[in-house]
Amino acid sequence: EMLEKGGYEHFMLKEIYEQPRSINDCMRGRIYPLEGKIQLGGIKEYAEKFKNAHRIIIVACGTSWHAGLVGEYLIEEYARIPVEVEYASEFRYRNPIISENDIVIAISQSGETADTMAAIEMAKSKGATIFGICNVVGASIPRLSDAGMYTHAGPEIGVASTKAFTAQVTALTLMAFYMAEVKGTLPKTKLIALLSELERIPSLVEKALESDKLILEIAEKFKDSRNALFLGRGSGFPVALEGALKLKEISYIHAEGYPAAEMKHGPIALIDEEMPVIVIATKNSSYEKVISNIQEVKARKGIVVAIVTEGDTDVVKMADYSIEIPASDEAFLPLLATIPLQLLSYHIAVLRGCNVDQPRNLAKSVTVE
Ligand code: AGP
């Protein structure tokens, strides 16, 4: 087993460290930065469908649903198609309004999640076109879909999803850029710049992993916490949700993810001198707003752990602990900001003596409803 773990103590840690490669594997052969082109073999026959799509509905569960929320930001921003993101388990039991001009994207690491499969079948019966984003080749969801993309992250053994999530986000990024290309909603020069930057992401993820030691020190401070709050805005919000889910799953610490501005509508009551508030505070369009949210936490003597852009000084001064990630275009923020949160959960769980690869009560894929 040690051999299978490639020298790492746990599969989860191995999979966290595999991300520069798995993100690269997801992009391989699909992006051509010099020409500003995206080639998605599985869906290329559907270019017209994307051009005429009235709406995209993303269905998924758990971490895959968080990837879907990132997809919503990217597709609406770049391809200007309205997107709804639905929990498969809710969607399947509603009587949703679906037309033939709707596209359903189902996201699943395993490709065997019962609720996601049922949601696909229901949408199909109402005439929607189904695209699957899946990691396991030949699984049930790709077989049920009209077309789709494999994420090529490689087998994920840890029950808590890490590299599969960043590969799903990469796949959705490619899809968003592809839709933007076919719809002509992005100037060619901008697309070229984004694709060249995307090509650098694996090496930037590598850099983000270098904070591992510092993150372990921070984990030591919070290993006995009973609660944690994760805040983010824009595409940082799904990152906060995913950070909270990871911590809950493997350390059994109660954690919540919130849009930073929603804090004052409730969770602010939880702030005290003990609970860590982890804030995605990178330099992007919501930077100034997030700074005011950090001030709200500090004014109530809360403890702030900030994920910041390298070289930041303003947030670093305000926060109790800061973890840097490399600067990049806002489009790729989720891919970079997720890394320190995975490591933080991992170290906290290990320090608490938890079984990180097989947390209690959880299964790798939920094949029953
Ligand atoms: C991830 O850490 C979870 N264990 C879980 O939320 C998972 O993402 C969910 O069950 C969906 O699985 P799928 O991607 O295989 O469909």
Enter the ipTM.
0.98
- Pick the residue whose CA is nearest to atom 6 on ligand 1: 62
Instruction: Specify the ligand 1 atom closest to the Cα of 60.
Output: 16
| Helix and strand element counts for the chain (H, E) | 14, 12
Q: Kindly give the distance from the C-alpha atom of residue 249 to the centroid of ligand 1, in angstroms, as a whole number.
A: 11
Return the residue whose CA atom lies nearest to atom 16 of ligand 1: 108
d(CA 212, CA 348): 12
**Pocket (CB within 6 angstroms of ligand 1):** 61-64, 108-110, 113, 116, 159-161, 249, 362, 365-366
Q: How far is the CA of 241 from the centre of ligand 1 (A)?
A: 13
Sign, CA dihedral 368-137-131-27, equals positive
Angle at 276 between CA 72 and CA 290, to 5 degrees: 45
Residues in contact with 17: Cβ distance below 8 Å, sequence separation at least 6, in sequence order: 8, 209
The residue to mutate among 16, 108, 109, having the most atoms of ligand 1 within 8 angstroms of its beta carbon, is 109
Return the C-alpha torsion angle 288, 289, 290, 296, nearest 10.
110
pLDDT by 10s per residue, the chain, length 369: 778 898 999 999 999 999 999 999 999 999 999 999 999 998 889 999 999 999 999 999 999 999 999 999 999 999 999 999 999 999 999 999 998 899 999 999 999 999 999 999 999 999 999 999 999 999 999 999 999 999 999 999 999 999 999 999 999 999 999 999 999 999 999 999 999 999 999 999 999 999 999 999 999 999 999 999 999 999 999 999 999 999 999 999 999 999 999 999 999 999 999 999 999 999 999 999 999 999 999 999 999 999 999 999 999 999 999 999 999 999 999 999 999 999 999 999 999 999 999 999 999 989 988
What pTM did the predictor assign? Answer: 0.97
Q: Which long-range contacts (CB under 8 A, 24 or more apart) does 1-9 make?
A: 4/157, 9/350
Is 264 annotated in the active site?
A: no
Tokens of 147: 């077309």
109 CA distance to ligand 1 centroid (A)?
Answer: 7
User: Mapped to the 3 state alphabet, what secondary structure does 263-300 carry?
Assistant: HHHCHHHHCCCCCEEEEECCCCCCHHHHHHHHHHHHHC
Which atom belonging to ligand 1 lies closest to the Cα atom of 168? Answer: 14
